Structure 1
Amino acid sequence: MPVPHLRRTSQASEFVFPLFLSHCRSSMEDSPPSGEDELVEPDQGNVLSHIISQLRPGADLSRVVLPTFILEPRSMLERITNFMAHPETLLPMSTIEDPVERFISVVKFYLSGWHIKPPGVKKPLNPILGETFTCYWDYPDETRAYYISEQTSHHPPKSSYFFAAPEHKIRIDGTLKPRSKVKDIF
């Protein structure tokens, strides 16, 4: 059965994903609209040298100051939903009795979220402490899956998330702790 493509309805983004995503809401009400063309000002020519000057072996990359024009125009809390890019693959899992087949299905779901959307690799905006992002997906069988995430720590950064499809007995929760360090400089 083909997966319908629905437009994500979020104040934070206008990206098209192959999701049954029906509604998104961020606690950051003043988020700028994304998807607009961005202009790089001529005085931003020394951006690369500014970024390189902040890099030292062992430096925590989460503390590197980046100009906003090279950041992804959505919060890390929303970016976590990339891992839920194909929620329909979760539906049959609770009915699979063979543990090996169920494990293979879980791995397929996990790997389906490792894609780059939107095209290109950009660092998402750092969420502020207490910021939330919620959304839900409507499945073809008229059931619904719910998702909520919250920034639960600022230093070190930690984002907690919860996904549930109650009618299908599916629950996923966890904490994402992004870590990145500079290993070597040229």
Structure 2
Amino acid sequence: MAAIVSSGAGAQTQPAPAKKVLVAYYSHSGNTREMARQIADVSGGELFEIVPVTPYPSDYQTVVDQAKREINAGARPALKTRVDDMSQYDVVFVGSPCWWATVAPPVATFLTSYDFAGKTVVPFMTHEGSRMGRTEADIRKLCPKSQVPDGLPVRGGAVGSSKETVRRWVEGLGFGK
């Protein structure tokens, strides 16, 4: 992207300042973490792991049941980690496993813990068949003063072979380094 800069004697084209990118994610099984790494590699973004104070159980059915209860109750679990200065970022990729058609509760906590006004908040999801669910609409409600483009869903089992898909998506959004 180029900016027109007036120098009095005429206009010059100069590169626009690079967007500062954060890639924030919550990962339960490691799939979303791997996808976040791929996005950071393409975008040049800084990685930030969203970590709840109380870890989720590893047993699949137990975590599914807990997630359903928390999502239905609008729970916002406390987080161990915090971004020191969110104001420095222009673009925030936000990743989560798709739990009950939306983001995991720690991601909802993250999205309600900062002011995203004027920022671009880009969702990405790992899933096992539900794709994005209603995630984009939910993030738009949680971050009403931000731009939320369509996200990228990748099946958890395919994350390891998704590097080219991720690269094309990030570059298509205009956030490749």
Q: Shared fold by TM > 0.5?
A: no
Q: Would you tell me which structure has more helix in proportion to its own residues?
A: 2
Q: Which is greater in Rg?
A: 1
Structure 2 length normalisation: TM-score? 0.29
